[in-house]
Structure 1
């Protein structure tokens, strides 16, 4: 179930709301130390080409952490937020979490055989990718509800953990967690080395990302803010408490929800924010509107050879997965955000290149 789906067939807002139902899993803890001392910029950001984007990061860190700088930011206020899909790792041709949902359908059918003759499950079982891509929004919602809820957190943990350990991206033939952008890993490390606390602020499932955030990004679970579903508390026959995932969205962490949930979950306006699509617009606006030195950066996917090219900003192909409109590009230029060209600003995309 991991072949390509046409990129124009999936609606981002609908998918992210559904994916909010994904539950909490655990991952090995990676200890990442952050020093309040400003490190030298010599050798920093090695996966970046020299240019305005790289220099903007170096200047920002120098200005906000250098002793005596008029733009100095107190250590407790050094907050940087990062969207995940399309900003920290690959999101095309479809979000990895939704691929998980499709791959989970056979297990759902096994538990409830009658669904095999009912849409949209019948279409998914057919394996016809074009037909799957044409499923209506209601059908996608039914798939998400069936695959992401109705079981205990522990039961879901085991299934999702197994999938992440075995599923591979069809293009690169690697686990999805290998497909992080090395230049953004450089930024995460550089900011932390200079006293910044890094957060993931994702429209995807908060619980799903928390499963691997420590291991993949060096970001503790408690520093992941995302869309979240409700759970209910109960007891098994032996009186042991457990949580059950419910088909109800508690937090929608997309668009304005990102700024709102940054306030709710972090309680401080970021001094730096990184995104790649219209879903990140309000987070970037909110960050840039703060007093003092602020850095808002947005990734433009313009490298079809090494990754993907989509926009439709700058005449790139249109998409519903990670849409970066010309209007958003114009706003970035007008308001002083830095646009990152994947093609021109990054020496390499992945660590395994």
Structure 2
């Protein structure tokens, strides 16, 4: 039987929350990779992932970058390693924001240990930035389509208040700037379907305000950790890094330069992954499933497989899941042995 092709998506910050507490224990207890990650954390004098994941109660400590980033990376990477390779062929890998570091490891552009070290270290480095934060603007309506006129008005308000685009996320836009600028933007925005949501503990990611983080990363992570990806790797611009068309130096430079300092266009990454590789399914690694809506909104924007609205997407998912979320118990079993 021919293998089904899958586009793998790695999640970013904000996906390990109270419902995900215990994710590693539930799905990856006894994993050799988890033991390696715990050892690396222990050698550095940090709380192990097993201890954090096994806490009796979810706490604000789980949301801090130095803990959230390695937890999310470990959950996603171990999910990737658990995929049933006898049935599924990974044709491309991408990720959202911090998920780029996981995507590097999944695609073989860095080793499993180096991928974890990058995610773990960037959890700390990402806290080095000029003052500021992020907010999520929901632009899509109930049918998951975006009114171009509304988008133009939002972008005009951003320009007036010196707020920058941070992540393009389907029918949502993550914006970044100083706290004062974000406050001013909220007062100046046109009516949205939901009020803007500030992201607690997040800096002005993917903007020039992260220059200190970029400089720290370049000093910390060696270029010789990088290699050409073994499978196509789609970055936050929609560029495809292929094995024989990429250099390790260019990949290192993008990862700790453009990827940190410029907007991350997850919508573009997904559009390229869907159109260029035409996968039989999309697999969203755990933890959580918050990216599922954004991926669905990209499918609607593309009218892929005649998915033209939220309702059509839900109906398709009910019949035969095109998007499989490994953080969703009812779908996880589809892609693991």
Give the TM-score of the pair, scaled to structure 2.
0.30
* Highest RCO, 1 vs 2 (Cα 8 Å, sep ≥ 6): 1
Give the TM-score of the pair, scaled to structure 1.
0.29
The structure with the largest helix share of the pair is 2
